[in-house]
Each structure stands twice: as C-alpha cells, then as structure tokens.
Structure 1
Amino acid sequence: MMLRLTTAIAASAVGLAQAAYASTDYPLTLTNCGVDFSVTSPPERTVTVGQSATEILYSLGLADRVNGTSVWFNPVLPQFADANEAIERIANDDPSFEAVVNKRPDLVAVQYEWHVGPTGSVATREQFHELGINTYIMPADCDTKDNSTGGDGTRTAAFSTDSIYKGITELATIYDVQDAGEALITDLAAREQRAIVLASSLDLPEDLSAAFWFSSTDLGVSPFVAGQLGAPGYMMEKLGIRNVIESDEEWPTVGWESIARADPDVLVIASMDRRRFPADDIEAKREFLHSDPVTREMNAVKNNRIVEMDAHAMSATMRTIYGLESLAEALSNMSFNE
C-alpha cells in the first residue's frame, strides 16, 4: 500500500510539472497566499528573504537573476556554493525593508509570511507593491497554514510536499523555465519515494516514536519542538513514526518533563549556523541532553538514538525531502533491541 501511494505521489508531481511545461504567456497573473499579482516578463532582479526561495531559484538555474539573499539557517547546498558566493548576502537573519528595496528587485521571493505579510517583520506585501515590486511567498508557508495565530503559525491541515512542488512550478512559470521546474520536481519526487521505500523495508518497531527539537530560547527551558502537521510531522508520518508531540502548532514549546514522560524512541535535533539562541548550537544541544537529570534518562539519549538534521530541512522546504532521506538512512543504522 505504501509503495503504491508513493508511486502515485511521484506520478502526480511529474504530471503537475508536465501540465505547466509550456512557454509562459505574459502578462501572467497569479494568486499567491491570497494576494493577486501580475508579471509582464521574467524578473531580472530578485531578492530572496528565506533560504528556501534562494535554493529553489538556484535549482532552477536562476542564480544570475538573484542579486541579494537573506535569512539563512544552514550553508547553501554544495552545488551552489560558487554561485552563492558571488551574490550579496544582505543579512544572515531578517533584512531591513530599505536593504531589500535598495537592491531594486523586480520580485522579492519569500519563505515565511511572517517576514513579508500582513504583519511582516521586514514589510507588508502592500509596502513592496506600492513601489512596483512584486512579492511571492512560498506556498508551503500559507497553504494549509494559518499565520495569524502568531509565532510560527498553526497548521490547519497536514503539510504535503505538493505545496513544495506547487512553489517550484509557479516560480518556474514566472521565470519561464518550465523545463527546469519539471526536472527538479521529477528528481525530488523520486528521492521522496526512495526514502519511503527504504523505511518500509526496515524491521522497525510498530509503535516507533520520535520528537524533533529545533531550538530553545535558553538551554533547560521548554524547547521548540515539532507539532503534528508540519514538515517533521510529514517525515514521521511517511516513515511510520509516531510524533509524541500532540499539537497542531508549527513549533510549540513543550516542557522537557512532558517530553521525557512521552519518552520518544528517537530524538531528531536541528543543526544550524544561526546563533539567535544558545540552543541553536548542536553541541550545546547534545551536552544538555546527556547532562540534564531529566533528559539523560530518556530512551533516545541512553541508547544514542539522536539524529542530527539540517534545521532548514525541518521547515517546509525543498530540503524537507533531503531530511526525509537522512532520517530513513539513520533509522537503517539503528538498533531497537533494548
């Protein structure tokens, strides 16, 4: 059943790309995260606010159209290191509105609505549009998600990689590079299927459980852990893992005592370059888990079933599929005979 389902997913994704495989007829009007906008030609100058948008544009062969990037969690994918080095990084974290506008972009491509949205920390979409600058938010952050609840938002339905493929298809159409979009979706769908098939071939416990720890405002305080319906929830559902965190929030804070009582079999911890909080440091996470009197007694810690994953893969991005792969591979090397 799982194999048939994943084959259908891959076929659907490829079909989506093929349906869009035609030259773009400009002017092109799109409804994106509830906002209509039009482009009259392929954007020549793009600023990205979010690593997801950056890496998708690079993957579509559009690095030469990107003249500024911002909001980075992890190093750029190795195959884009040279191209990325030549493009100005406006900010590691949130850029200012002025810094983005000063790059004179035709389009601002955005990962998170809380950066550019109704209460955007960078600006609202209207502020950009009033200057004749279009904005595009990756659908993964607004499809099946309510960002008006504050924080990282709340999922109204489970994240699906369909929203990633939708974003790739729409960006490929905006820039008139549909062949590149088709190739990227085909590759990602195949990788997604292989990871799921690998996990289904393993002799995993029937009630295997896990928790994903992104970060904490300080070590020892309640951590930001993955809810049921976001990208980590998708990974766990596809690989047959139960998420011990029963929340629809994207990244709820849950006390370590509660997590320890749930006692997940596996802990997945985020690795990132960002240093906004002490627990952003992967080594600090590991030291805390092994030294704290509550966490060190957890099954996953005692049995060294701790998986490091790029923080960017834990968000709803193209890299989520890479995270799915790395988790399946990690499970294949674990023993659950205690």
Structure 2
Amino acid sequence: MKNILRCLALVFVLAAQGAMAQPYPNKPVKIIITYPVGGPADQIARELAMGLTQNLGQSFVVEAKPGASGSIGTAFVAKAPADGYTLLVGAGAPQTAFPVFSAKSPYDGVTEFSPILMIVDVPNVMVVAPHIKAQNVKEFIELAKTKPMTYASTGTGSSTHLAGEIFQLETKVKLTHVPYKGATPVMTDMLGGHVDVSFLNLSAMLPHIQSGRLRAIGLTAANRSKALPDVPTLTELGIKDITGSWYGLLAPAGTPEAIVQTLYQAANKYFSQPEVRARIEAGGSDLKLLNPQQFREAIIQEKAELTELNKILKLRIE
C-alpha cells in the first residue's frame, strides 16, 4: 500500500511540474478594453488578439469594461494577477489623463503597469454634424461666434475632450462640452443632429467621413493623414493642438519579464507585416511599435505634459 501511495504522490508531483513547465500561454488570455465594443480600442484590440492567437497558438479574447472615462477597465487590470492572463489595451486618456484630472483616481497609471507595446497613434479629427453648414475651420469659428454650439467627446479628460478645450482657448470661441461613454454613441448623436461638432479618433470617424455622412474640417496631428490627405491639420491653420490618442498593450506590474518579452515579440512580429501595416494605416492610425522601455518613457512624458497643461485648463473629474 505504501508503495502505491508513493507512486501516486510521484505522479501528482510530476504532473504539477509538467504543468508548471508548460510555456506561456497555456490557457486562454483576456484582453481588457476600457471603451465600448465597436470603437477604436475594440478595433485595435481585436487586431491584436488575432495576431497573438496566430503567433502564440492560444486564444486571446477581448472583453470590454467601459465606463468612468476608461478608468473602470484600467483599474481592473491594475489589480489583476501579474501572470500574463489578464492584459490591457490601454489608451492615453485612462492611462495618463485620468490620474491627472481625477480628484480620486484609483491608480497612478505608471507604477501599476508593465508596458509591452505601444501599437498605434491615432489623430483626432474635427468633424461637424450634417446640420452644420461650415465647410472649413474658419467658417466654423465664425458660426460658433454667432450661436451656441456643442461638442461631443468620449468622456471627461479624454483626448477628444482636451481637443475641444484647447480649440476654445486657441480660437476664443465658446463650446458646450457633452461627454459620452465612447465613440459609437457620439457618432449616433452627431448623425442625428443632437450635437454640433466632435474631435474623435480618426479611426472611428473615417467610415462616416468617407461615406459623406459627416464632414471633416481639421486634424489634430503634426502631419496630414494618408487616409485623409485633403484635410488640413489644425497646426497648418495656426491653431496649436497637442491632442491625439494612442493604444497599446500593457500588463499588471510585476508580470515576469519572460512573459512581457513573449508578448512583445509576438505582437511586434504581427504588426510589422506589410499587409497588416497597410490595413492599420488605411484605417486612419499610425503604427508606432514602441518597445517596453520606449513605451514606459512615452507614458511618463505624456503624464508630465498633461500635468502642465492642466495648470491652464484646471480640469477636475469628481
């Protein structure tokens, strides 16, 4: 009997050691997005999930946890086990802006995360609703000085909110901010004539611009977009703007370096393919592909810049 028990114990030990020795990932991985399904974060997360699934041979599943300017999903991943099985497609607003503007942010945005890969930069595009007759930024400014105007954003403290605030500072017009919980409801209300203008991610607005349902009049980027070469940047028009969005892959702080590198190499390999790059850029985004160290430095720098900006804007999310 003792020999049988010893054999059984040995079997269990060997089985446990075998399970521990299995390479990462050995079970499905969740990728959390902080905005509703259908928006830019969802689009890039599903592209990422497809690439990681292909390259690592395990299922990567996208799960939305929207709300509170993206802070709900971000806080969820910040507190998740650092084992590589709960990841975040982070964005600039919840990652760096919310901790700056919030009176009680549940996270710092830097210390709780291990950056893996900054995937894309996405400029914001100034778009007017169909009922607004302005054909360009100059005409919009003239119109806004004669009547009350509203602008929509994907949430207080988001880059789409900041773009509108900076636009008002630069042009001396007054717009009333209407925050939403994501890009999809903004587009619905713009098409319905319920809000006048927005500064949403180009990747979210592009299909509606290309179809002619919404009119793009300016871009918050240093250079014109390949997807909209005829739309001038606000900088070209003499309007200073530093806003835009990024989307990238992060894990909870303390995730083993081997797992971080596995994910970085697999994701970078996928997005480096010419056909994938072409598809991303055709959708209005610019591939960045910053490595973990570069990504961390970019997050720290952006948070510092937003801290300085808020000395002027004095925004506070309660």
- Asked if TM exceeds 0.5, the reply is no
Max Rg structure: 2
The alignment's TM-score, normalised by the length of structure 1, stands at 0.27
Structure having greater relative contact order (Cα 8 Å, sep ≥ 6): 2
